[in-house]
Structure 1
Amino acid sequence: MVTRPRGSYRKTAQRREEILDAAFEVFSRTGYAASSLNEIARVVGMSQPGMMHHFDGKAAMLQAVLERRDREAGELLSGRTDLDFLRGLIEIAEQNRERRGVVQLYSMLAAEATSADHPAAAYFAGRFEYVVAGTVNALEEAAALDLLLPEVDPRESGRNLVALTEGLQLLWLHNSAIDVAQSVRSEINRLLTTSI
């Protein structure tokens, strides 16, 4: 028997998602530092105290927005190894073509979060560490299968691949003719004894 969320819980969950949508819109437009709780409340159509019933401040909203974005990417990469993981990175880049606002918000926040006192500083440091480690691991797995060119250092190449992807996304925000997914695919193929 499948149980469904009770009425008030379902409404609360739906309202939280609406608040996150509004926070995403405001953060995307003005960045985290320049955004205000009043503006988010106005966009979602509720009072600030009512909104604070669901989130304990702007930093908590930011954390939830970032976690929602990462949950989607995490699901796509879950359980994937070696070349399949690397294909997943290309798939994420392809999906991002249709999510300009998400990429714009992410890029803006990643730059803001280089300040140690930014509420997302630890989040981005951990995220970069996680993504680089996953990419390095996939390249090491490819090397164990003799799919990586012998002169390629998985650690250096993994870090460089993440940096390339991040930089290409920023360039794409300024010039939508840039094909991030194809450029990432080309760089990965340059490291391999095969093509993906």
Structure 2
Amino acid sequence: MSGSQVEYRRGEYRKSAARREQILEAAFAVFSELGYTASSVSEISRRVGMTQTGVLHHFKGGKTALLQAVLDRRDEEAQRIISDKRGIEFLRSLARITETQLDKRGMIQAYRMLSTEAINPDHPAHEHFRERQQMVVRGVEKAFREAAEDGDAPADLDARAAALSSLAMTEGLEVMWLNGFDVDMVAGSRRHIQQFLTTEL
């Protein structure tokens, strides 16, 4: 393959990647405004200035594939923050995740809408949300258990109860914030987690 052909391939790849990003941004906006059920590939393609066929070229699974890509993007950012953390450092990272989302109101709103819709077992994202929530609970429970092992929490701490309580508080604060209440999600969740620890969070 000649150098010009390689450069052409690279150029085409960059254009394709940029187009996928545009489609994802449009899908995110549509899901945020309408929820998954009321959204359509035609509306997403209209906003990005493409035909439905063009959108489906990049996301062959249609609306379901777009939904999965939007959810994966949110989870990837959170995963980068907590990666390789244990114990109290993992718990500190939870507040950091909240901080990074304060300027992404649309993303949080979309996620809340989609997670509520997905309570229905027939929803295409039902398994995603169910498995993700179980994974998050296990991760936070493990972090509380490690904190107790490291001397950063009482040795007799009920790690599962602490995890469920902390996650319920965080999600509750999110909902109140979305509904216009003047709440500090970062400080509120940090204060709640702190009550289970003996070391400053």
Could you tell me the TM-score, scaled by structure 2's length? Answer: 0.93
- Alignment of 1:142 with 2:147, yes or no, is yes
Uncovered stretches (5+) of structure 1, i.e. residues with no partner: none
Separation in 2, partners of 1:151, 1:111: 35
2:87–2:145 contact (8 Å) kept in structure 1: yes
- Higher Cα radius of gyration: 2
Q: CA deviation at 1:152?
A: 2.7
**Equivalent position to 1:54, from 54, 58, 61:** 58
Residue 173 (structure 2) aligns with: 168
Separation in 2, partners of 1:176, 1:84: 29
Residue 68 (structure 1) aligns with: 73
Residue 39 (structure 1) aligns with: 43
Q: Secondary structure at the match of 1:33?
A: coil
Q: CA deviation at 1:11?
A: 1.1
Residue 93 (structure 2) aligns with: 88
Alignment of 1:1-196 (within 5 A): 6-56=10-60, 57-196=62-201
Q: CA deviation at 1:175?
A: 2.1
Residue type of the partner of 1:158?
A
Deviations for 1:72-121, whole angstroms, at most 9, x for unmatched residues? Answer: 11001111111111111001111221110111001000100000011110
Residue type of the partner of 2:190?
R
Residue type of the partner of 2:172?
G
Separation in 1, partners of 2:65, 2:91: 32
Q: Identity of paired residues, percent?
A: 46
Deviations for 1:15-59, whole angstroms, at most 9, x for unmatched residues? Answer: 111100000000000000001111100111111111110112100
Deviations for 1:119-148, whole angstroms, at most 9, x for unmatched residues? Answer: 110100111011111100100000101211
Uncovered stretches (5+) of structure 2, i.e. residues with no partner: 1-5
Q: CA deviation at 1:149?
A: 2.5
Could you tell me the TM-score, scaled by structure 1's length? Answer: 0.95
Separation in 2, partners of 1:109, 1:167: 16
Question: When the two structures are aligned, how many residues end up with a matched partner?
Answer: 194
Q: CA deviation at 1:151?
A: 4.8
2:145–2:157 contact (8 Å) kept in structure 1: no
RMSD: 1.5
Residue type of the partner of 1:76?
I
